[in-house]
Amino acid sequence: MRTKPILANLSPYIPGKTIEEVKQSYGLEHIVKLASNENPFGFSDYVKSGLQQAVEGLEIYPDGYARELRTTLSNRLNVNEKQLIFGNGSDEVVQIICRTFLEPGVNTVMATPTFPQYRHNALIEGAEVREVPLDNGVHDLNSMLQQIDDHTRVVWICNPNNPTGTMIDHKAFESFMEHCPDNVLVVMDEAYVEYVSNTDFPDTLSALSSYDNLLITRTFSKAYGLAALRIGYGIASESIISNLEPSREPFNTSSLAQKAALLALEDQIFINETFKSTVETKKDLQIFCDNHGLTYYPSETNFLLIHLPISGDEMTEYLLRNGFIVRSGEALGIPNSIRLTIGKQNHMDKIMEAMSEKLSEGR
C-alpha cells in the first residue's frame, strides 16, 4: 500500500525508557524519572478527590465543545470563549495548526533545536521546513524573520524553549511581531509558562488584541501534573480559531481530562507551591553546576540543559545504572549535554551526588 512519501523519511516518536523497563534492565528497585519534565510533585489532591466523583457516565461521549472548562478558562484568561480551542495535549493543537495552514508549496519557520513536533507535523503536511539555529540557546528572531517570504504560513516560537529552557523577552517579542507580516501565523508555545519567574517574559495574552496573527498554546501536562490525561489548549482571535475548528476531531478531549483541568484551575495553591519548590531546587542544581565547572543555559522552566565534558549518552547511561532516568543531549541535537527535570529535593541531592562521582572519574 502506498503512503505519503515523506513518511518513509520520518521516525515515530520514541519515548524514553519507562520506570519498569529500567528496573528490569538494571536490576533496580527504585527509579526516579527526570527525563520528560513532568511534575515530580504529582497533581493536586483537589483534582484527585474531585475526579473520584467524576467517573460516571463513561458510556457517553464527552462534550466536544468543552463548555464548562471553556467558560472557566476564558474568564480566568479574560478572553472570549470563541478564542479557545482544546486538544489532546498541546501536541494535538500543533497538529491541528499544521493540518489547517500547511500544505505543499508553502513553508514554515522554526528554531533548531526546539520542540520536534512542529517539524514532524509540518513535513507530514508536505510543507517546506526552514530551521534557524539557536543563538546561544535562544531563538535568533532576526534570522527567523529573514527566512519569511511570500510562501510562509506559520512561524513557531517555543517560549521558554524546549530543550534549552531559555526565553525571549517582551522587547524581542514585540519587535518580532511588528516586523512579521500580518498574514503569517505566529505560534507562541508556552507549555512551561507556569514556571517562568523572569518579569520580562512577554504578556502574550494582552498582545492578542494587537496582533490578529498571534496564537498561544498552553498545556495542563507540565505544572498542573495532568500529563496522563492529555489536555492542552490554544488561544487566538476568533477568526483563527474558527479556521482551526474544522481540523479538530469532534470528541478529541475526554470527559475526565476536561473535569481534571477544570479542577486543577481551581487549585492555584498547588501551582504556586510547585513553582516555589522548583525555583528553589533549580538554584541548588545551578550552584552544583557552578561548583563543578559545568555550564548551562538560563532556564525559565522545570528543567536544566547541562553541558558536560563527556557525552550525554555516557552520563545518561551512568545515571540509569544509579536509578535515574534523564534525557541525553545527543537525542536532542545538543551533544555533550543532558536535560534534567527538576525533581524533589531529596532526589536532586542523590542525582547530584551520582553526577559528581561520574565527573570525578576523568580527573
- 3-class DSSP assignment, residue 197: coil
Contact 197, 300 (CB under 8 A): yes
Mean pLDDT of 319-345: 96
Cβ neighbours of residue 95 under 8 Å, at least 6 residues apart? 87, 117, 121
- Tell me: do 160 and 255 sit in the same domain: yes
Where is average pLDDT lowest: 15-24, 56-65, 129-138? 15-24
Q: In the 3-class helix/strand/coil scheme, how is 65-114 assigned residue by residue? A: CCHHHHHHHHHHHCCCHHHEEEECCHHHHHHHHHHHHCCCCCEEEEEECC
| Residue 247 lies in domain | 45-266
- Planar angle of CA 6, 181, 150, nearest 5 degrees: 50
- Tell me: do 34 and 129 sit in the same domain: no
- Tell me: do 60 and 29 sit in the same domain: no
- Tell me: do 166 and 315 sit in the same domain: no
More confident residue, 243 or 20: 243
Residue whose C-alpha is closest to residue 118's, from 75, 156, 174? 156
Q: What is the pLDDT of residue 111?
A: 98
Contact 133, 140 (CB under 8 A): yes
Q: What is the pLDDT of residue 15?
A: 67
Q: What is the pLDDT of residue 82?
A: 98
Q: In the 3-class helix/strand/coil scheme, how is 10-79 assigned residue by residue? A: CCCCCCCCCHHHHHHHHCCCCCEECCCCCCCCCCCHHHHHHHHCCCCCCCCCCCCCCHHHHHHHHHHHCC
The answer to whether the Cα torsion of 145, 146, 149, 151 is positive or negative is negative
- Tell me: do 182 and 234 sit in the same domain: yes
Where b means 16+ CB within 10 Å and e means fewer, 14-38 reads eebbeeeebeeeeeeeebbbbbbbb
Cα distances from 254 to residues 38, 73, 179, in angstroms, run: 20, 17, 39
Check whether 23 has a pLDDT greater than 70: yes
Mean pLDDT of 279-291: 98
- Tell me: do 24 and 129 sit in the same domain: no
What is the domain-level CATH number for residue 273?
A: 3.90.1150.10
- Tell me: do 215 and 350 sit in the same domain: no
Where is average pLDDT lowest: 56-60, 204-208, 354-358? 56-60
> Of 266, 286, 304, which one is at a domain's C-terminal end?
266
Q: What is the pLDDT of residue 25?
A: 78
Mean pLDDT of 124-135: 98
- Tell me: do 217 and 153 sit in the same domain: yes
Where b means 16+ CB within 10 Å and e means fewer, 237-260 reads beebbeebeeebeeebbbbbbbbb
Mean pLDDT of 239-255: 97
The pairing of strands 232-236 and 84-87 is antiparallel
Helix residue ranges per DSSP H, 212-254? 238-244
- Tell me: do 154 and 291 sit in the same domain: no
Q: What is the pLDDT of residue 27?
A: 83
**What is residue 298's DSSP assignment?**
-
What predicted TM-score, i.e. pTM, was given to this entire model?
0.95
- Tell me: do 72 and 148 sit in the same domain: yes
- Tell me: do 116 and 16 sit in the same domain: no
pLDDT > 90 in the chain, percent: 88
Q: H or E segment at 289? A: helix 268-291
> Of 214, 236, 266, which one is at a domain's C-terminal end?
266
- Planar angle of CA 220, 112, 103, nearest 5 degrees: 80
Cell matching residue 149: 517570504
- Tell me: do 93 and 181 sit in the same domain: yes
Check whether 53 has a pLDDT greater than 80: no
pLDDT > 70 in the chain, percent: 98
Cell matching residue 93: 493543537
What is the domain-level CATH number for residue 158?
A: 3.40.640.10
Other C-beta atoms lying within 10 Å of the C-beta of residue 124: 16
Instruction: Work out the pLDDT band at 16, boundaries 50, 70, 90.
Output: low
